[in-house]
Amino acid sequence: MGNGEELIGLAILAYFVLFYRYVRKYPKGPLPLPLIGNLYHLKAETLHEQLHEIGKQYDGCFTVFLPRPVVIFTTFETIKESMVTNGDNFAGKAQVPPESLLHKVRMNGSASLAPCLGATSVGSLLIDYLEAALLSVKNICVQRMFSHGYLIWFAVVDVQHPQTGISVSDGDVWKEQRKVAIRILGQLGLGKNLMEEKINRSMDEMFRQLKDNNDGVTPFDVSLTLQLCIGNIMNETLFGYHFEYTNTERFEYFNGCVSKHLKSIKVLQDNFYVLLVQAWPWTKNLPFIGEWGFKELHQNAATYHDFIEEEVKAVADKYHKDHEPTNFVEAYLVEMEKNPALDLINLHAIAVDFWLAGMETTSTALRWSLLQLMKHPAEQERIRAELISVVGNSSRIDMSHRTNLPYFVASINELLRVANMVSFVFVHRCTEDTVIDGKLIPADTFVYPQLYSVLKDDPIFENPTEYRPSRFLEDDGRTANKKAAERMIAFGMGRRQCAGEALARMELFLVLGTLLLNYRFIPTEPIDLNPVFGTVLVPRPFKCRVEPL
C-alpha cells in the first residue's frame, strides 16, 4: 500500500473515531452511521411511530441523527421537565432553513448592478455559481433583476434573515411578539365577543355553501367547506373580511402556497434535501441540493410573504386611527404607535404564522372529528342530544353554553387526543447545557417534544386506542378530570405552547357543535382512520352523507 492510501485510510479512521466521540456527547439512542446518521433505518410514513417505539427503550429521552443530532422526548415526564421546568432553556428555535425561511429576507446596504452575458440558461448558471461563492462569504446574495436579450442584469446585495414573528423566532423578539399577539387575540375575542361574531359570519358562509351544493343524499366531500370556514375565521380575525364561497380564487391561491410550504418541509419523504440543508446549511449553495432543499422553499415563501403584505397594506390604507380596531392588523397598528418593538415586518410575520400554524391544524381536527363521530354513531347522537337539551330549538350554540355541555367539551378533548395529528414539526433548540432525566443535552442541540407519544400511550389514558370521551370526566359525568386534561397536550406544553389555543378551542366548539346541531354525518364508504404522514397527520380523502336535520 502506498503512502497516499495509508493517509486516506488513517483519515477515514480518524473521522470514524471523531464521529463516535461526537455521538457520545448526546443522550444515547439507536446507532447512527457517519454522514447519514440514523436516516438508514427511519422511514418517513411511520417516523412518529418509530420514534415512539425507540422512546420506550430509552425512557423517553434519546438522540437520532437526521443527520443533525435531534434529542427526542416521548414521555409526559421528559416533555414536562424540559418544556416546563427548564422552559427557558428549551424555548430556542432552529434558525436554519427551512424554519428560517419564514423570516422575510431583508436587503441591506447598496446594491451594485452588473450585466452577465450569455443565453439565459448559461447566464443563470453563471449567476448560480457566483451566488454560491458569495454566500460562502456570508450574507451576500445575487439577485436576478431582469434580462434583456442575451443580457441578464444582476445585483449583488447584502441580505439578512432577522428574526421576526412568533413561531420561528426566539429570544426577545419572540417574547415581545408572542405577548402582544396573544393580548390582541384576547382583546378581539374576550372583551367584546367580536371573535364569536367573526366565527358566526364564517359559519353563515359555510351553511350557504352546504345549502347550495349538498342535497343530503349524494356523498359530499366536506374538506374544502371546512377549510374555507376555518380560513375565513382566520381572515376575518386578521384582515376583517371573508371570502364568499362563490369567489374563492384568492383564498385557493394562498391556501395553495401554504400547502406547498407544508408539503415541501415534510422531512424524509418528499424532501430529503431539506434535512441536508438543515444539517449543513452551506449545502444550500450546491447544485440540486440547493435547488430542492432551499431555493424552491425560498421562492414559495416569497409568494406568501407578498400575499400577506398586500393584505396588510389594504387594511392599513383604509384604517382610521380614531376608530376602535376590529381586526388583528388594525389592533397591531394601534399598538405600533406605542411600542417601538413592533413594526410592519413583524406584523407580516405574525400573519404568516397564524395562517401556517392555525389553518391546516384546525380544519384537519374538524375532519378527523367527523370521521370519528361517523365511526361511533352512538357518540354522535349522544353529543347531539346534549346540545339539543341545552339550546332547544335554536340552530346555533354560543360560548355561554359551554359550562352546560360537559360531554361535548370532553368529546372535543378526546377527538383531539385520538386525532393526534401533529407529526415531526415544531423542533426546539436547547440554548444552554441542561440535564433532563439525568442526561446532558448540550447547548445548541435541536430537541423535539413528541406530543404524539403522550396522546397515544400515556398510562393515564387507559385502553388508549379506544375512543372514550368519558375519560376526560370524573365519575359524576360533569366535572372535568384534571389529571387527564393535563396530559391532553395536543397544543404543546410550556413557554411555546400554541399561541392560538384559545381561538382553536373556540372554533372547534362553535363550528363542530353547530354542524352537529344542523346535520347528521353518515358514512357512505368504509372509514379509514390511518393518517397520511405530513407536517400535520391528515385523514385520507373521504365523502359522506351530510343530512340536514
Q: Cβ 305 to ligand HEM, closest distance in Å?
A: 16
**CB nearer ligand HEM, residue 279 or residue 357:** 357
Residue 168 CB, nearest distance to ligand HEM (Å)?
8
Distance CA 387, CA 406 (A): 10
For residue 307, give the H/E element and its range: helix 296-318
Which residue, 509 or 521, is less far from ligand HEM as judged by CB? 509
| Consecutive H or E run containing 153 | strand 151-160
Provide the 8-state DSSP code for 111.
Answer: E
Contact residues: ligand HEM, CB under 6 A:
166-167, 178, 353-354, 357-358, 361-362, 365, 422, 426, 449, 451, 490-492, 496-500, 503-504
Least distance to ligand HEM, CB of residue 139, Å: 25
> In the complex, what is the shortest distance from the CB of residue 313 to ligand HEM, in angstroms, rounded to a whole number?
21
**Nearest distance in Å: CB 165, ligand HEM:** 8
Nearest to 407 by CA among 481, 317, 331: 481
Query: Smallest distance, Å, CB 341 to ligand HEM?
Result: 16
Which CB sits closer to ligand HEM, 471 or 505?
505
| N-to-C CA span, the chain | 84
Place of cell 422531512: 267
For residues 377 and 271, give the distance between their C-alpha atoms in angstroms, rounded to a whole number: 39
Closest separation in Å from C-beta 449 to ligand HEM: 6
Question: What stretches of 440-533 show up as alpha helix (H) in DSSP?
Answer: 451-457, 482-486, 501-507, 513-518
Q: Torsion angle, CA of 218/226/327/175, rounded to 10 degrees? A: 180
Angle between helices 223-239 and 194-213 (to 10 degrees): 150
User: Is 229 annotated among the ligand-binding residues?
Assistant: no
The vertex-202 CA angle with 197 and 206, nearest 5°, equals: 140
* CA 265/CA 288 separation, integer angstroms: 16
Among residues 102 and 544, whose Cβ is nearest to ligand HEM? 102
Nearer to ligand HEM, 124 or 431 (CB): 431
Distance of closest approach, residue 498 Cβ to ligand HEM, in angstroms: 3
Nearer residue to ligand HEM within complex by CB, 391 or 498: 498
What Rg do the C-alpha atoms of the chain give, in angstroms?
25
Angle (CA) 436-72-429 rounded to 5° is 75
Q: Which residue sits closest to ligand HEM, CB atoms considered?
A: 500
Nearer to ligand HEM, 289 or 421 (CB): 421
Cβ atoms 425, 492 nearer than 8 A: no
CA distance 48 to 74: 10
In order, the DSSP letters of 345-414 are HHHHHHHHHHHHHHHHHHHHHHHHHHHHHHHSHHHHHHHHHHHHHHHTT-S---GGGGGG-HHHHHHHHH
Contact call for residues 185 and 503 (beta carbons, < 8 A): yes
**Which is closer to ligand HEM, CB of 81 or CB of 353?**
353
The one-character DSSP state at 503 is: H
Residue found under cell 384568492:
250
What is the nearest approach in angstroms of ligand HEM to the Cβ of residue 94?
11
Name the residue nearer to ligand HEM (CB basis): 167 or 235. 167
Binding-site residue numbers are 498
Residues in binding site for heme: 498
